[in-house]
Copies of this chain bind each other. A is one copy, B any other.
Amino acid sequence: MNGPTIYDVARESGFSIKTVSRVINGESGVRPETIDRVERAIKALDYHPNPAAQRLGGGKLPTIGIVVDSIDDPFFGEVIAVVERRAVEMGMDVLVASTGMDAVRARTQVERLVRRGVSALIVAPFGDDAAARADLPDDVPVVVIDRKCGIEDKDVVRVTDHEGAVEAVRHLVAHGHERIAFLGETAEFTTVQDRLSGYTDALVEAGLAVEPELVETRCWSADVAYPLALAMLAPPDAPTAVFASTPLVGLGVLRALKRLDRQDVALVVFGDFPLAELMTPPTTVVDQRPTPLAHAAFDHLARRLDDAHAPVVETVLPTRLIQRGSGELPPRETS
């Protein structure tokens, strides 16, 4: 039931286990010929190091931990998919953990993964800035994704939240809208705060008033967003356009529009989502492109695994406006 151990490889190759260990870990200062013989023995025996023993001996597990809001969120699903693929390529595997948007659980999940001995962590922090910062370990490489949360001592990969929101709202303005609603999640997140300030800035830039009754920041989930969107869009003096700060919020808005049987409300959603192109009209989005984001995060991870003291970097990826129809609707005639 158990495979060959380092002792078997040592015997087979004629060297000591220490030398085999050196070869496995790619340490320098081993004669090429020795490396060759050891590798031959490893192949011959189909030897694979025991990760638990590696860890206990003093190393880390060949494992990457990833902590996200929820695994079945399409955005994070794509991120995890990319990370898993890249990890497998380097012979590592991936431990997933979700926070369920619960700050306490976010903390315990990170703690558990660190205790497990993961080599590195990719984390979408959750909670207020202070909590998010406190949750992250200092003895394990961490790459923060999606939200900065005021974290300065870790590598961060995020998108241009502010600029993306500005672009979205400018786009609506350019199509003639003057009364544009903002629907978003709680303002606890830097991300959403940035998107909200982008919204505000774009309005001011266009010389339009920021109407507080058109700003709704309590959309925690699609289910919560739905009635709030309904309330916002049902009245005769409803806004002619909506900017939704996340795909989940956008989903709530789309449900409300369907319910109201309205296809004349302009909509731009921050974050692309599957089937957006199949809506009627197809949904215009600001794409945050999870795949490049995940690749960038993994690149940083690999770099830091190589050199724990590499300088901290923050990568801010550009978003991209994808015009599909809903964002190009003209303002409807107000009754």
Q: A interface vs B, CB < 8 Å?
A: 1, 3, 48, 50-53, 55-56, 61, 63, 70-72, 74, 77-78, 80-81, 84-85, 88, 93-98, 100, 109, 112-113, 115-117, 139, 251, 254-255, 258, 273-275, 277-280
A88 lies within 8 A of B109 (CB): yes
B85 lies within 8 A of A81 (CB): no
A51 lies within 8 A of B116 (CB): yes
A77 lies within 8 A of B88 (CB): no
List the B side residues contacting A51 at CB < 8 Å: 52, 115-117
Give, as a whole number of angstroms, the nearest-CB distance from A115 to chain B. Answer: 6
A258 lies within 8 A of B274 (CB): no
B81 lies within 8 A of A98 (CB): yes
B84 lies within 8 A of A96 (CB): yes
User: With contacts A52-B61, A93-B95 known, is A81 near B70, CB below 8 A?
Assistant: yes
List the B side residues contacting A100 at CB < 8 Å: 85
A50-B115, A94-B97 provided; 16 other pairs, C-beta below 8 A? Answer: A1-B139, A48-B115, A51-B52, A51-B116, A52-B53, A52-B55, A52-B61, A71-B81, A74-B274, A93-B112, A94-B95, A94-B96, A95-B95, A95-B96, A258-B278, A275-B275
List the B side residues contacting A55 at CB < 8 Å: 52
List the B side residues contacting A280 at CB < 8 Å: 280
CA distance A70 to B109 in the complex (A): 23
* 5 A-B pairs with the lowest CB-CB distances in the bound complex, closest first: A52-B55, A72-B77, A72-B81, A71-B81, A52-B52
List the B side residues contacting A72 at CB < 8 Å: 74, 77-78, 80-81
List the B side residues contacting A275 at CB < 8 Å: 251, 254, 273-275, 278-279
Could you show 25 A-B contacts with beta carbons less than 8 Å apart? A50-B115, A51-B115, A52-B53, A52-B55, A52-B61, A53-B56, A63-B95, A71-B71, A71-B81, A72-B77, A72-B81, A74-B74, A74-B274, A80-B96, A84-B96, A85-B98, A93-B97, A93-B112, A93-B113, A94-B95, A95-B96, A254-B275, A255-B277, A274-B274, A274-B275
List the B side residues contacting A84 at CB < 8 Å: 71, 96-98
Among B80, B93, B255, which residue has its beta carbon within 8 angstroms of that of A71?
Answer: B80
Give, as a whole number of angstroms, the nearest-CB distance from A64 to chain B. Answer: 10
Give, as a whole number of angstroms, the nearest-CB distance from A106 to chain B. Answer: 12
List the B side residues contacting A1 at CB < 8 Å: 139
Give, as a whole number of angstroms, the nearest-CB distance from A6 to chain B. Answer: 13
Among B53, B56, B70, B88, which residue has its beta carbon within 8 angstroms of that of A97?
Answer: B88
List the B side residues contacting A70 at CB < 8 Å: 81
Among B50, B52, B81, B116, which residue has its beta carbon within 8 angstroms of that of A93?
Answer: B116
User: With contacts A70-B81, A72-B74 known, is A3 near B274, CB below 8 A?
Assistant: no
A56 lies within 8 A of B48 (CB): no
